[in-house]
Homo-oligomer: A and B are copies of this chain.
Amino acid sequence: MHVAIPLYPRFTALDVVGPYTVLAFAPGWTVTLVAAQAGPVTDDQGSLTLTATASYADVGRPDLIVVPGGPGTLEAMSDEALLAWIRQTHEHTRWTTSVCSGSLLLGAAGLLEGLEATSHWAVLDMLRQAGAEPVSERVVTQGKIVTAAGVSAGIDMALTLLGQATDVATAQAVQLAIEYDPQPPFHAGSPKSAPEGTSERALKLIV
């Protein structure tokens, strides 16, 4: 399986590297970080730079794409080169997926019309602008379009897809290889569980 993850300015690093690590550990899978041009792309904090090793023109026909989110998503929604790549690649993918606000890019590419989808809780309602029905779930599957909730949800989505593409034993082996036995020290990971006032604080942190 060939996976491609597009980078654009001000992406959120964990949106990319969560699914990357899960899928790149899978035996025989390759993951390519891709952008308009090959080269460095810097994240939302301005302090982490990943290298795209292929341009959209050179990446071929990936089987699976994972579109990350981040504060840069809003600007990327008018990046016609990115949207055209998503649209064209989607024609041949087994899965077209997103993490966090990356689903707004699937929407801007015209892929979510009439479908249920999820996103980061802070922008979930914006999915309606693309004709999608926002759903507050960790991972939402609609045929070959799969959307995940905010940032860390990409890890859960990637393990789910890996189990479907290979077999449960392989996905479990990857889960054990990355020792994904989460033990968050607080119960604050979703707007439903977080203490009152946490959402307001969190919104201020989202650059």
Contacts and interface: CB of A to CB of B under 8 A. Distances in A.
A198 interface: yes
Given A121-B179, A186-B175, A190-B179, A48 B20 contact: yes
Interface stretch (A57-65, A88-96, A105-113, A148-156): A148-156
Interface string A150-187: 11110110011001000011111111111111111110
Contacts of A178: 12, 14, 150-152
* Interface-central residue, A17, A32, A49, A150, by most chain B CB under 10 Å: A17
B176 A151 contact: no
A5 to B, nearest CB: 9
Contacts of A155: 152, 182, 184
Give the dominant DSSP class at A's interface: mixed
Q: How many copies does the complex hold?
A: 2
Interface residues of A, number: 73
* Interface-central residue, A32, A120, A182, by most chain B CB under 10 Å: A182
A176 B204 contact: no
A189 B181 CA distance: 4
A171 B205 CA distance: 11
B32 A183 contact: no
B48 A183 contact: no
A176 B152 contact: no
Interface stretch (A21-29, A76-84, A125-133): A21-29
A30 interface: yes
* Interface-central residue, A33, A183, A198, by most chain B CB under 10 Å: A183
21 contacts: A13-B20, A32-B47, A33-B48, A48-B51, A49-B50, A49-B51, A49-B53, A51-B51, A120-B179, A150-B178, A152-B180, A159-B184, A172-B186, A173-B205, A175-B188, A175-B189, A176-B202, A180-B182, A180-B184, A181-B184, A181-B190
